[in-house]
Structure 1
Amino acid sequence: MNTALPPNELPPPPADANSAEVIFLGTGTSVGVPALGCRCDVCTSTDPRNQRTRCAIVVRFKHSNLLIDTPPDLRTQLLREDISLIHAVLFTHEHVDHLYGLDDLRLFPFQLGHAMPLYCESHVEARIRRVYDYAFSDRAPTHPGSTPQLEFVRITHDPFNVLGVEVVPIPMVHGPYFNVLGFRIGNFAYCTDTNAIPAESIERLRGVETLVIDALRFRPHPTHFSVDEAIEVIREISPKRAFLTHLCHDIDHAKVDAQLPAGIELAYDGLRLNIDPTS
């Protein structure tokens, strides 16, 4: 395997103090858009903004890339956005559409010179250890890179540091059975996969300038905000701008985006935003 970049030359450096870029890898629901077997107007649309892979973002600092979630489309997403290295991963929760691309990170430890750090809660770690049990086997590997090299960093609801930047967890509810995390980094917050944000978490979101929030469709759903519900939350938090994500095939980008209130837009795969990770 190619090890052209010596491990000791590529430690994750501290983030730039002034700016970072958010790259939307995926903005779609758990089955993606187009949905398999569907011939609706959105699934057959030629508008590239209606082609939505499973949800994830990368926060790109000056010399390091922080990935939030590892969806099944991860390899394709990273290639599409020309992202050649990930330095650390945060997990919002353990559902398949946010987890099952983890093996696609297998090459990066060769460049990093150490295992890939995974920042997650204890129940997410437990799921990863079950699903990717081969990565934690005592059996000797057959060759370098045969299994992903992973290292867990346990997080709680307290703020923590990743790649030189403070991250504030945003505890949220995702239907009747799951609690999940959003994350605030400076003046930016990412809150996918939720249908309720407790009052204490709303307070953690006060002052954000850019908010990304779940808005599956217009009809109510038992585990996701509808568009109208997401707009209510946005109005309560009052960011300068907001983007809706985790969108299903009920949402036609051009039509719906034009109808949204001022300051609220639909996210789309490949969208890039500048943020301040320190404010």
Structure 2
Amino acid sequence: MPATPASASDTHVDLLWTGGWDSTFRLLQLLLLQRVPVVPHYLQDPTRPSTPVELQAMARIAAHLCARFPHVRELLRPLRIAHVDTLAIDPDIADALRDIRRRSYIGDQYAWLPMYCRRNGIHGIELGVHIDDKVQALVRPVAAEYAHPAGYRSVRVDPRWAGSSEHRLFGDFGFPLFGIDKVGIDRAADAAGWSEIMEMTWFCHTPVRGKPCGICAPCLYTIEEGLARRVPASRRVVSFFYRRLVLPFKAPLRRMRMSLRERRADRRAA
């Protein structure tokens, strides 16, 4: 469903919600602490096997919240879903992504997201970028705090960096979790009494028999950032050997493929 721009008087918060750890924690903060209306957005990738599981997790979490906290029924707006294969990427976004990837590899979602915002007039959509996230390291040198219209402080790319690759890719986003890591989220959620809800979240991109695989990027980040307990023990063993025997070769191969693609693109443009 396409999003529509917010009116000047609408103080809702746009949130990229995947049913995952970080975005769900932010959803809980907005609904249960700030008590502001939230419009959740989800970008559906037809190539990702986890899509049905993520949608089920979000539906389960939303139903639980509405049952346990009746005021959430008024605050949590319907999920807006966009299909990424309908988002043609503008050249300036593609160029910015290529530039950023020369310094640090980030996924294609960081091309889809700014295009989605651009097409739908969305400004300030919140992402669950946190400490230890690659994007946090990229944005940190150009970040600035600001006052959100809903009454709290957040972080964004400083408008003074307009025109930079960082601003073109990340300028439409807010980063409210910029100063916390996954373990810190775990502690904060436990202190707030949200642990049961957080355990309903989903993160794996390539489930194996309905369980986290241990080797996709989100599984690796979950293990490395202190939440290995969320990956089954058998898959943690697989992950151990994958990280030592396979992963060291992936980054050089990825850089080689990217270089070849760029050379082909340059030859076509010539």
Question: Normalization by structure 2: what TM-score?
Answer: 0.29
More helix by share: 2
More strand by share: 1
